[in-house]
Structure 1
Amino acid sequence: MSNPLQTPHSGYHWNGSSERFFEGWYFRVTLPTLEQTFAFMYSIEDPLGGQGYSGGAAQVLGANDEYLCRTFPDVTQFWATKDELGLGHWGKTDLKHNPQLLDPKDFETQIQQGYQATAYLNQGMIQDPATKKYCRWQYEIKPIYGWGNPNQAQQSTAGWLSSFPIFEPGWQILMAHGLATGWIDWSGQLYYFDDAPAYHEKNWGRAFPKRWFWVNCNSFKQENDLAITAGGGKRGVLWWMESVALICLHYRGKFYEFVPWNSEVSWAIEPWGYWKMQAKNAQYEVELVGTTEHSGTPLRAPTSEGLAFCCRDTMRGHLRLELREKQGRVIVRAESSVCGLEVGGSPWDKPWIKD
């Protein structure tokens, strides 16, 4: 295994079936001094082809929560590896051979539209044909935390049962924290960065949850070794629905896990603007509050009717976080102004509260 921090589910999940299927990947890099974040979202649906929703897409949530999207209808130009993180989709190109990972220099000269990504590289170019706005990007990644303690076997985000097709959808954090070096060209505005905080996750299955929320940050004031992912949703489990949530942190070489099978997790999430979560287990307690005054940006996600606008994100959220021992000693107290915040699905006509 080339990546010692590789998590379970890093490889591509499609088994060749004609049944409804999607897989999506999320790569992010944050530029703390500029308080800007770029998120790259890649997806493939019904990859056998010839079906109503067959196709791929690349979305970019860029500077100031601005948005670009490009679809790639030809599923034969998509590739992904089964045993490790690796994927790409070629759009406009003169190359005739099967799509595959290219040397970054070859990709830049040969692929006019498309992307490629691994655990160590994220590269691509998309352009909106109507507005001519575009994004080009290329950066290398040094993984710091996968999912779990860095000196132990990495864990499935949703536990060992996620190896079976029980939950809809599957969810896996691929890299809770890493450092990215490279550049992003946002319609002529160039951003160069060195050792910027980076993050990867993925999901797969037949559709996103019925309703969900998400809080994610690995760029904190006065804390350069802290990463948190928290979220919850109403998801399908075999023939019923359940509401579940987790809060997990990596801090100074240690993994703190608050998940349904070892902790009590509660939340109060407004339809937009306010995310509060709390959790406690046998040893620790954690509380986080995310807020934003920004309106957020609608994003597309796979649904039973294909890729559709069904969630809202901002990468300019404010986050307050406290982790403490059960006896009261504070382990870390931190704040950020570049937190990712999201709500998705429906209904969001009133707050979602679970005590």
Structure 2
Amino acid sequence: MANSLQTPHSGYHWDGNGDRFFEGWYYRVTLTEWGQSFGFMYSIEDPIGGKPHSGGAAQILGAGDRYLWRTFPDVRSFWGARDYLGLGHTRRTNGKHSCQRLAPASFEREMQEGYQATARLNQGYIRDPGSQFYCRWHYEIQPIYGWGNPNLPQQATGGLMSYLPIFEPGWQILMAHGLATGWIDWNGDRYNFTNAPAYSEKNWGRSFPQKWFWINCNSFICHPDLALTAGGGRRKVLWWMESVGLICLHYQGKFYEFVPWNSQVSWRVQPWGRWEIQARNHQFEILLIGKCDRPGTLVRVPTEDGLSFRCRDTMNGRLLLELREINGRTLLRAESFLCGLEVGGAPWDEAWVF
């Protein structure tokens, strides 16, 4: 990624100690021509090795919300760049470790299984040994928006306090919007695409939120330049828990930020099926309504007990977005049927109102 769009926290965070630790990365590409999305989730836990949960994984939520995953137990074959976005985890055909980025052709030739990803590349291959269902992918990315005004230094999603070891976990949107060109082979169904909407984010730390929700969309009807990410969660702050949420969007070169330190954010999120989030600051107010009539798909997330099914996702949610000035004048009304919607953690016995 051009240095002007590289966000804070792009590099790998592990400091080499043996404390409980995880880091996870998420890449999404939306294929509007087919009405499908692919979400690629990469993670590493306790990378010092020798711990009960040491190892890595690659998960894919693909076409039709179908799920595929593969573990990579050997932490020695994982690599993460410290000062830029770059990571990979592989099994090599000759049995040797490859702890560095390879040219795409070399990766294709030498790697038995695995992935490598940067700000401009996402490439890999995994296969379920039981069902033999597989995915192979390779696409290049042109970043459009990082996180913040594109003409200013990029921002930390969690604000200035995110640089201190206070909040668990850390969260950073790496690229709010980009254009992806390449292909995905989803068990024989080949998707070739050019300038498809792309997105990436990450999280890291010693614990995952107790409970959370998430909304992401950069494929809106009639608004190709619009990118939205919203979320809320109960997270650990030193020795107590707090609930926080945000709504942020990039549109026509501007960054609209509704975060706890400048806005009032509230929500009503059902255990599944409906997400209502709104926020207000001294200039603007925004409303999001997400809906899903599908059952969603369970995916694994890091927990104290390792990767566990504590999260439900869909890539085919419906979203309505309204942005208004405080005086009531509508600035933007947008809709999508390819929205990412998620709830995770517990308890979800009833609607979460905040």
Q: TM-score, normalising length from structure 1?
A: 0.99
Question: What amino acid maps onto 1:230 in structure 2?
Answer: A
Q: How does 1:70-89 map to 2 (within 5 A)?
A: 70-89=70-89
The whole-number CA distance in structure 1 between the counterparts of 2:75 and 2:4 is 31
Gaps of 5+ in 2: none
Q: Percentage identity across aligned positions?
A: 66
| 1:53 aligned residue | 53
| 2:3 aligned residue | 3
Contact 2:146–2:175 (CA under 8 A) maintained in structure 1: yes
Contact 1:95–1:110 (CA under 8 A) maintained in structure 2: no
1:98, CA displacement in angstroms? 3.9
| 1:65 aligned residue | 65
The whole-number CA distance in structure 1 between the counterparts of 2:322 and 2:2 is 35
| 2:279 aligned residue | 279
The whole-number CA distance in structure 2 between the counterparts of 1:34 and 1:268 is 31
The whole-number CA distance in structure 1 between the counterparts of 2:126 and 2:276 is 35
The whole-number CA distance in structure 1 between the counterparts of 2:81 and 2:160 is 22
| 1:100 aligned residue | 100
RMSD over aligned Cα, in angstroms? 0.9
Runs of 4+ in 1 over 3 A off after TM superposition: none
| 2:247 aligned residue | 247
Question: What amino acid maps onto 1:59 in structure 2?
Answer: Q
The whole-number CA distance in structure 2 between the counterparts of 1:284 and 1:318 is 23
| 1:257 aligned residue | 257
Contact 1:216–1:229 (CA under 8 A) maintained in structure 2: yes
Question: What amino acid maps onto 2:72 in structure 1?
Answer: F
1:33, CA displacement in angstroms? 1.8
1:92, CA displacement in angstroms? 4.2
Q: TM-score, normalising length from structure 2?
A: 0.99
| 1:156 aligned residue | 156
| 1:290 aligned residue | 290
1:34 aligns with 2:34: yes
| 1:233 aligned residue | 233
Contact 1:120–1:140 (CA under 8 A) maintained in structure 2: yes
Contact 1:6–1:154 (CA under 8 A) maintained in structure 2: yes
SS of residue in 2 equivalent to 1:76: helix
Q: How does 1:1-355 map to 2 (within 5 A)?
A: 2-94=2-94, 96=96, 98-354=98-354
1:30, CA displacement in angstroms? 0.2
The whole-number CA distance in structure 2 between the counterparts of 1:329 and 1:95 is 62
SS of residue in 2 equivalent to 1:112: strand
CA-to-partner distance for each residue in 1:18-72, whole Å, 9 max, x for gaps? 0000000000000112110000000000000000000000000000000000000
CA-to-partner distance for each residue in 1:95-127, whole Å, 9 max, x for gaps? 635421000000011112000000000000000
Contact 2:90–2:98 (CA under 8 A) maintained in structure 1: no
Contact 1:21–1:46 (CA under 8 A) maintained in structure 2: yes
The whole-number CA distance in structure 2 between the counterparts of 1:206 and 1:240 is 15
Count, aligned residues? 354
Gaps of 5+ in 1: none
Question: What amino acid maps onto 2:316 in structure 1?
Answer: R
1:3, CA displacement in angstroms? 3.2
The whole-number CA distance in structure 2 between the counterparts of 1:295 and 1:165 is 37
Which 10-residue stretch deviates more, 119-128 or 326-335? 326-335
The whole-number CA distance in structure 2 between the counterparts of 1:256 and 1:274 is 23
The whole-number CA distance in structure 2 between the counterparts of 1:3 and 1:62 is 31
The whole-number CA distance in structure 2 between the counterparts of 1:307 and 1:194 is 34
The whole-number CA distance in structure 2 between the counterparts of 1:268 and 1:85 is 34
The whole-number CA distance in structure 2 between the counterparts of 1:294 and 1:281 is 34
SS of residue in 1 equivalent to 2:153: coil
The whole-number CA distance in structure 2 between the counterparts of 1:113 and 1:10 is 25
